[in-house]
C-alpha cells in the first residue's frame, strides 16, 4: 500500500519537478487500483493541509518551490491585512484589500509575493489559497429588513457585514446580539452569508456584552457531560496508602503556606523558607500534582489541551479544568493533605543555587494567607495579625529577606523589570462597573513572584541538562530594526545605551530603566522599550529568556490554569519514577509532540489575552459613560499620526484626535514620536502630563474620546474636524456602514427599493442610456479608477447594475426617472459612481470586496488616484426588476432593443493578475 511518506519523498527529492497525479502514478510505479485510489486520497489530504499545492496546470509541488509564503492573516478594520509568515526569517507581507480573495482575519493562507521595496525588506502580495479557516462563526448585532438582514460583526477586523437571508434569521430581531455560522465566505462583490444559530439577547441587556466577547473568541462556557463525569470520579481526599505506594516525601510537618489574592479559589502553589546552619537559605516551592489526577490522553486532558489555559475575564473565570479538580482535590487548601511536586533550592550568600532537588511530595499547608495580610504583617506590623499568625511571622520576615536578595540578584544579572500599573474593575450585582482601582504590587506579591521565578529557572535548567523532551518559556532577542529605532529614540533624551543594534544585553536596558526612575521621560522610554521587544511564547527548545536575562526558563508553577505546566509535571514525575530518564520509545513520542503542544499553548494564550483585554476595555468604556464633560489628569501614553492616546490615573485610556487640536496644524514625527505644531512649535510627546475632558464614549467600539481642557473650539462643524469621530446618531463606528441600518433607515431604504424598481422597469423606454466608465490605467493592476461621464454631467441617474458588455465590465446603466431632476436610485447600487465624477474606487457597497488602502511599502509616496482609505458602505443586495424582488447576487442588463431584459449571473469579480488563484 502506498504511504504518505513515499509520496513526500518523491515530491521533496532534489530532482523533482511539478507533476500531475498521472505522472506521480508512473513515478511511484503504481499498478494496483487500490494503490491509485490511496495516492489520490493522499494528494488531496496533503493539498488540503497545505503541505503541497496544485498549480493551474494541475501539477503538484512544494509551496516554497512555487514562491508561495504560508502564514496567518492579520487583518485591519480598513480592509487591508498583513501575512504573518510561519517561517520566522521571512518578513511580513502587506496585502491590499483587493488581493484578499476569500481570506478573513486569522485564516492560514498561501500568499504570492507580487512586489518588493527597493531594499527588498517590505513586500506586497496576494492570497492565492486559504488553507485553514479561523472564522466559522461570527458574533455581532443583527439588523433586519423584510426580506433579508445583516450582522454587523463585533470584530472590527471583519470589515464587511454578514448577509442573512430571511429563512436564516433564527428568530432574531433588530438590535439583538447573535451568533451566525458562515455559510459562504466573501468573494468579489459577494459578501459572506451567514445563518443565525444563537441569539444572545439585546445588545443593551446586562451580561450580553461579556457573553458576546466569550462567543467572539469562541471560549467554552461549560464542560461537556463526559468531561464532568470524569472529573466527578476524582477523590475528595488522599490516603496514606497512596503516599506510601508512590514513595512521596512527607513534608506535612513544615511551615508551608499559600499566599494568594483574596478572591483566589484555585490554590496551586505553596512555599516555605528555612535558614540553614551554614547561613544559606533553603526555599521550598510546592506545586499541586495535577498530572496525577488528569491522565495523559484522557477526556479531561484533551479538553485541557484544547482550552490551553484558564481565562480571567472581568466578571468570571473560564477554567481550564472543572471546579471539581481546580477548586477541590488539586487546590492546596489549608490543613488538608495534598499531593505535590516540590522543588527545594539552597541559595548561598550570592543568591546562587548551590544545591537543588525535585521530587514528589505530600504537604499540609498551615494557613491560607492573602497578599493583603502578609503586607500588613511585614509593612504595617498590624497588632491583630501579628498575634493571629504569631507562629509564622518570623517565616514571613525570612521570606522577605530572601525575596529582596533574589530581586537584587536578578537586577544585577540584567533582568528587565517593567513596573506598569494594572487595574481591577469593580462591578455591582448587575455587572455594571462602579470603580476602577490599581492592583497593588506590594512586598507580598514580590515574594511570590521571586520564588516562582527561581523555581521555574531551576526546573528548566535541570531537565534541559537531562535532555528529556520538555516545554520551555522563551523570550527571543528584540528585532534588530525595532531595537535600533529604540536606541535612536532614547538618544533624543540624551541616553546612550551600551551595545550595538544587533546585540544589546538586557542589563543595559535594565540600567536605563534605573537611570530614568522618577524622571519625566520614564513612562515614554519604558513604553517604547517594551514595544521594541518580542512576545514571550512556549517552545520545545530552550533558547533563553531575554527579558529575564535567564538561560533557562519554564512554566512549572501553575498546572491548574496552564496546560504547558501540566505537561511538564507529567514528564517530571515520569523521569523521577524511572530513575532520571525516559524509555527510548517514550522519549521519541514526547519529542514528536512537544512542538505542537508549544504552538497550541502559545495560540491559546494569545486568545485568552485578547479576550481579557476586550472585557477590560468594554467595562472601562462603560464606566466612563456617565463622565462625559468631566475633567481628568492624565499622561500621554502613545502618539500617532492621527492623534494621541491619554491614560488616566485609573488606567482608562482614550484618544485625542488630531482634528481636536484646533490651535495649530500638528505634524507627526515618527522618529521622536511627537506631534509638533507648525506655527506654535508646541510639542506633545509620550509621558507629558495634561488635563483632558471626556468628549464622548462609543460603546459599539468600546472607545473613549478626550479633548484638551484649554483647547479652543473649532469654528467648523464637529464632524468636519480632522480625525474627529462623527456623533453616534449620524453614523456608527464603521464610517457610515451602520448609521443607515436602524429601523427608520431600513424603512427608508425599503421605500427607495420600491422607487428603484419603478425606475428599473422604466429602462424599457427609449430613454435608457449606457454611461461607460473609463479605466485610468493605474500603475497596480486591478486598481481601476472608475468615472462615469454621464454621472459627472448630471444628465442621468446611475443605477448600479452591471451591464453585459464584455469589453467594459465597469459600465453602469443610467436611468432617467422622468421626474425632473434625476435622482440616484439608492439601494440597488453595488458600485455606483458619485455624481461628482471623482474617483470612486474607495466607495464600498455590498459585496464589493474593495479595500483601497495604500500599501505601507509605498507609504511615503501616495499612489496616484488613491484617496484616503475609508470603510465600506453597504447599500444592500441588487433589485431584480423583472422578478420584482431582492436578489443576493448581481444581475446583468441586456441593453439591446428589448429595453433591459434582466439575466441572472454570477457577481462580477475584479480581474486578478492571473485568471486563476493558483501559483504559476
Nearest to 525 by CA among 500, 495, 481, 505: 495
Q: What is the pLDDT of residue 749?
A: 40
Which of 154-163, 329-338, 423-432 has the largest mean confidence? 329-338
- What stretches of 773-872 adopt beta strand conformation (E)? 797-799, 812-815
Helix axes 480-491, 522-531, angle to 10 degrees: 170
Cβ within 8 Å of residue 396, ≥6 positions away? 374, 377, 378, 389
Task: Give the DSSP per-residue string, 61-113.
Answer: E-GGGGTEEEEEEEE-TTS-EEEEESSTTSPPEEE-GGG-TT--TT-EEEEEE
Q: What is the pLDDT of residue 61?
A: 84
Q: Is the pLDDT of residue 725 over 70?
A: no
HEC readout, 742-795? CHHHHHHHHHHHHHHHHHHHHHHCCCCEEECECCCCCCCCCCCCCCEHHHHHCC
Tell me the three cell numbers of residue 697. 464614549
Q: Which of 594-603, 642-651, 722-731 has the lowest mean pLDDT?
A: 722-731
Q: What is the pLDDT of residue 19?
A: 87
As a whole-number percent, the residues of the chain with pLDDT over 70 amount to: 76
Which of 120-129, 340-349, 414-423 has the largest mean confidence? 340-349
pLDDT 10s digits, 350-379: 999 999 999 999 999 999 999 999 999 999
| Burial class of residue 503, CB neighbours in 10 A (0-12, 13-18, 19+) | exposed
Give the residues across from 674 on adjacent strands.
Answer: 669, 685
Distance of alpha carbon 259 from alpha carbon 261, whole angstroms: 7
pLDDT 10s digits, 801-855: 333 333 333 333 333 333 344 444 333 333 333 333 333 333 333 232 323 333 3
pLDDT 10s digits, 23-57: 888 888 888 888 888 888 888 888 888 888 887 78
The arithmetic mean of pLDDT across residues 274-293, rounded, is 95
As a whole-number percent, the residues of the chain with pLDDT over 90 amount to: 43
Q: Which residue has the higher pLDDT, 334 or 830?
A: 334
Residue 531 falls in which region: left (phi positive, over 0), alpha (psi -120 to 50) or beta? alpha
Vertex 521 angle, CA 517 and 522, to 5°: 35
Distance of alpha carbon 17 from alpha carbon 656, whole angstroms: 57
Q: Which residue has the higher pLDDT, 761 or 596?
A: 596
HEC readout, 196-212? EEEEEEECCCCCHHHHH
Q: What is the pLDDT of residue 37?
A: 86
- pLDDT band of residue 495 (cuts 50, 70, 90) is confident
- pLDDT band of residue 775 (cuts 50, 70, 90) is very low
| Reported pTM | 0.72
Q: Is the pLDDT of residue 256 over 80?
A: yes
Q: Do 778 and 850 touch, CB atoms closer than 8 A?
A: no
Q: Which residue has the higher pLDDT, 286 or 484?
A: 286
Q: What is the pLDDT of residue 610?
A: 92
> SS3 for 349?
coil
Alpha carbon dihedral 537, 542, 544, 548, in 10-degree steps, equals 60
Q: What is the pLDDT of residue 119?
A: 67
Q: What is the pLDDT of residue 653?
A: 93
What average pLDDT is seen over the chain?
78
The arithmetic mean of pLDDT across residues 340-355, rounded, is 95
The arithmetic mean of pLDDT across residues 387-406, rounded, is 96
Nearest to 685 by CA among 697, 673, 698, 694: 673
> What are the C-alpha distances in Å from 510 to residues 525, 549, 778, 840?
12, 10, 50, 52
> SS3 for 58?
coil
Tally: H helices and E strands in the chain: 19, 40
Q: What is the pLDDT of residue 609?
A: 93
Q: Is the pLDDT of residue 715 over 60?
A: no
Q: What is the pLDDT of residue 761?
A: 39
Distance of alpha carbon 98 from alpha carbon 853, whole angstroms: 9
Sign of CA dihedral 195, 201, 204, 209: negative
Q: Is the pLDDT of residue 769 over 80?
A: no
pLDDT 10s digits, 664-704: 999 998 878 889 999 999 999 888 889 999 999 998 889 99
Q: What is the pLDDT of residue 638?
A: 85
Q: What is the pLDDT of residue 759?
A: 39
Measure CA of the first residue to CA of the last residue in the chain; give whole Å.
32
Distance of alpha carbon 82 from alpha carbon 856, whole angstroms: 10
Distance of alpha carbon 252 from alpha carbon 336, whole angstroms: 9
Q: What is the pLDDT of residue 869?
A: 41
pLDDT 10s digits, 297-318: 999 999 999 999 999 999 899 9
Q: What is the pLDDT of residue 678?
A: 92
Q: What is the pLDDT of residue 840?
A: 34
Q: Do 356 and 344 touch, CB atoms closer than 8 A?
A: yes
The arithmetic mean of pLDDT across residues 343-347, rounded, is 97
| Burial class of residue 312, CB neighbours in 10 A (0-12, 13-18, 19+) | middle
Q: Do 887 and 877 touch, CB atoms closer than 8 A?
A: yes
Q: What is the pLDDT of residue 131?
A: 87
Q: Which of 200-204, 647-651, 803-807 has the lowest mean pLDDT?
A: 803-807
CA 683 remoteness from chain centre: 33
Q: Which residue has the higher pLDDT, 493 or 81?
A: 81
Nearest to 876 by CA among 270, 291, 189: 189
Q: Is the pLDDT of residue 900 over 50?
A: no
- pLDDT band of residue 621 (cuts 50, 70, 90) is very high
Tell me the three cell numbers of residue 613. 483585554
Q: Which of 130-144, 164-178, 578-592, 786-800 has the lowest mean pLDDT?
A: 786-800
Helix axes 506-515, 393-413, angle to 10 degrees: 110
Distance of alpha carbon 253 from alpha carbon 255, whole angstroms: 7
Q: Do 573 and 586 touch, CB atoms closer than 8 A?
A: no
Q: What is the pLDDT of residue 120?
A: 63
Q: What is the pLDDT of residue 501?
A: 53
pLDDT 10s digits, 136-164: 899 999 998 888 999 999 888 888 889 99
Amino acid at each position: 500500500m502506498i504511504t504518505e511518506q513515499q509520496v513526500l519523498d518523491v515530491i521533496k527529492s532534489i530532482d523533482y519537478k511539478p507533476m500531475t497525479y498521472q505522472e506521480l502514478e508512473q513515478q511511484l510505479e503504481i499498478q494496483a487500483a487500490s494503490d491509485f485510489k490511496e495516492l489520490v486520497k493522499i494528494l488531496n489530504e496533503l493539498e488540503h493541509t497545505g503541505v503541497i499545492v496544485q498549480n493551474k496546470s494541475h501539477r503538484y509541488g512544494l509551496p516554497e518551490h512555487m514562491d508561495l509564503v504560508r502564514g496567518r492573516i492579520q487583518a485591519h478594520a480598513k480592509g487591508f491585512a498583513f501575512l504573518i509568515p510561519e517561517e520566522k526569517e521571512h518578513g511580513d507581507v502587506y496585502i491590499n484589500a483587493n488581493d484578499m480573495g476569500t481570506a478573513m482575519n486569522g485564516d492560514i493562507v498561501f500568499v504570492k509575493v507580487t512586489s518588493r521595496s527597493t531594499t527588498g525588506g517590505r513586500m506586497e502580495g496576494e492570497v492565492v489559497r486559504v488553507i485553514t479557516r479561523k472564522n466559522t462563526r461570527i458574533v455581532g448585532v443583527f439588523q433586519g429588513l423584510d426580506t433579508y438582514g445583516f450582522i454587523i460583526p463585533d470584530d472590527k477586523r471583519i470589515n464587511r457585514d454578514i448577509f442573512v437571508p430571511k429563512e436564516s434569521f433564527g428568530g432574531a430581531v433588530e438590535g439583538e446580539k447573535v451568533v451566525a455560522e458562515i455559510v459562504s465566505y466573501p468573494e468579489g462583490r459577494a459578501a459572506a452569508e451567514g445563518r443565525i444559530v444563537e441569539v444572545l439577547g439585546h445588545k443593551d441587556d446586562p451580561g450580553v456584552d461579556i457573553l458576546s466577547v466569550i462567543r467572539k473568541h469562541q471560549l467554552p462556557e461549560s464542560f461537556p457531560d463526559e468531561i464532568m463525569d470524569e472529573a466527578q470520579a476524582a477523590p475528595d481526599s488522599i490516603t496514606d496508602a497512596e503516599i506510601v505506594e508512590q514513595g512521596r516525601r512527607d513534608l506535612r510537618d513544615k511551615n508551608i503556606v499559600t499566599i494568594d489574592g483574596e478572591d483566589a479559589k484555585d490554590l496551586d502553589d505553596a512555599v516555605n523558607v528555612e535558614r540553614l546552619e551554614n547561613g544559606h537559605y533553603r526555599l521550598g516551592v510546592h506545586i499541586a500534582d495535577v498530572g496525577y489526577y488528569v491522565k495523559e490522553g484522557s477526556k479531561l486532558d484533551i479538553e485541557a489541551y484544547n482550552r490551553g489555559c484558564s481565562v480571567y475575564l472581568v466578571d468570571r473565570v473560564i477554567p481550564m479544568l472543572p471546579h471539581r479538580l481546580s477548586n477541590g482535590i488539586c487546590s492546596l487548601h489549608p490543613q488538608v493533605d495534598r499531593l505535590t511536586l516540590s522543588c527545594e533550592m539552597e541559595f548561598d550568600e550570592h543568591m546562587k543555587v548551590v544545591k537543588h532537588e525535585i521530587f514528589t511530595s505530600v504537604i499540609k499547608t498551615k494557613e491560607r494567607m492573602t497578599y493583603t495580610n502578609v503586607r500588613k504583617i511585614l509593612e504595617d506590623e498590624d497588632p491583630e495579625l501579628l498575634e493571629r499568625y504569631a507562629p509564622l511571622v518570623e517565616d514571613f520576615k525570612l521570606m522577605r529577606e530572601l525575596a529582596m536578595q533574589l530581586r537584587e540578584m536578578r537586577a544585577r544579572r540584567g533582568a528587565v523589570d517593567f513596573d506598569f500599573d494594572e487595574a481591577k474593575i469593580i462591578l455591582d450585582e448587575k455587572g455594571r462597573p462602579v470603580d476602577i482601582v490599581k492592583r497593588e504590587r506590594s512586598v507580598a506579591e514580590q515574594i511570590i513572584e521571586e520564588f516562582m521565578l527561581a523555581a521555574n529557572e531551576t526546573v528548566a535548567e535541570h531537565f534541559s541538562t537531562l535532555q528529556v523532551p520538555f516545554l520551555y518559556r522563551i523570550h527571543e532577542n528584540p528585532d534588530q530594526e525595532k531595537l535600533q529605532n529604540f536606541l535612536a529614540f532614547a538618544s533624543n533624551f540624551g541616553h546612550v545605551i551600551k551595545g550595538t543594534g544587533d546585540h544589546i544585553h538586557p542589563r543595559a536596558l535594565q540600567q536605563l530603566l534605573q537611570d530614568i526612575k522618577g524622571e519625566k521621560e520614564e513612562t515614554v522610554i519604558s513604553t517604547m522599550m517594551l514595544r521594541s521587544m518580542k512576545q514571550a511564547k512556549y517552545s520545545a527548545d530552550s533558547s533563553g529568556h531575554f527579558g529575564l536575562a535567564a538561560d533557562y526558563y519554564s512554566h512549572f508553577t501553575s498546572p491548574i490554569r496552564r496546560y504547558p505546566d501540566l505537561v511538564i509535571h507529567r514528564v517530571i514525575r515520569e523521569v523521577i519514577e524511572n530513575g532520571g530518564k525516559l524509555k527510548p520509545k517514550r522519549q521519541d513520542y514526547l519529542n514528536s509532540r512537544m512542538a505542537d503542544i508549544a504552538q497550541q499553548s502559545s495560540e491559546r494564550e494569545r486568545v485568552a489575552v485578547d479576550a481579557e483585554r476586550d472585557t477590560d476595555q468594554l467595562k472601562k468604556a462603560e464606566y466612563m459613560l456617565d463622565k462625559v464633560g468631566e475633567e481628568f489628569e492624565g499622561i500621554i501614553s502613545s502618539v500617532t499620526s492621527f492623534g494621541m492616546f491619554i491614560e488616566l490615573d485609573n488606567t482608562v485610556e482614550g484618544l485625542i484626535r488630531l482634528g481636536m487640536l484646533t490651535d495649530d496644524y500638528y505634524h507627526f514625527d515618527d522618529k521622536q514620536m511627537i506631534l509638533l505644531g507648525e506655527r506654535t512649535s508646541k510639542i506633545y510627546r509620550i509621558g507629558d502630563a495634561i488635563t483632558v475632558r471626556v468628549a464622548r464614549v462609543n460603546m459599539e467600539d468600546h472607545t473613549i474620546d478626550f479633548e484638551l481642557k484649554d483647547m479652543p473650539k473649532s469654528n467648523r462643524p464637529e464632524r468636519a474636524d480632522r480625525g474627529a469621530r462623527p456623533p453616534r446618531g449620524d453614523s456608527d463606528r464603521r464610517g457610515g456602514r451602520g448609521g443607515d441600518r436602524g429601523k427608520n433607515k431600513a424603512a427608508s431604504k425599503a421605500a427607495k427599493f420600491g422607487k428603484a424598481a419603478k425606475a428599473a422597469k422604466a429602462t424599457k423606454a427609449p430613454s435608457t442610456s449606457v454611461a461607460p466608465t473609463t479605466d485610468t490605467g493605474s500603475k497596480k493592476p486591478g486598481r481601476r479608477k472608475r468615472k462615469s461621464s454621464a454621472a459627472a454631467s448630471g444628465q442621468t441617474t446611475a443605477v448600479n447594475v452591471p451591464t453585459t458588455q464584455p469589453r467594459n465590465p465597469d459600465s453602469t446603466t443610467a436611468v432617467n426617472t422622468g421626474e425632473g431632476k434625476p435622482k440616484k436610485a439608492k439601494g440597488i447600487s453595488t458600485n455606483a459612481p458619485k455624481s461628482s465624477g471623482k474617483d470612486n474606487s474607495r466607495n464600498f457597497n455590498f459585496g464589493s470586496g474593495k479595500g483601497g488602502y495604500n500599501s505601507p511599502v509605498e507609504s511615503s509616496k501616495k499612489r496616484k488616484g488613491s484617496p484616503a482609505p475609508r470603510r465600506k458602505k453597504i447599500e444592500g443586495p441588487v433589485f431584480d426588476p423583472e422578478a420584482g424582488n431582492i436578489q443576493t447576487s448581481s444581475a446583468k442588463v441586456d441593453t439591446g432593443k428589448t429595453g433591459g431584459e434582466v439575466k441572472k449571473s454570477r457577481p462580477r469579480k475584479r480581474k486578478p493578475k492571473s485568471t486563476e488563484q493558483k501559483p504559476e
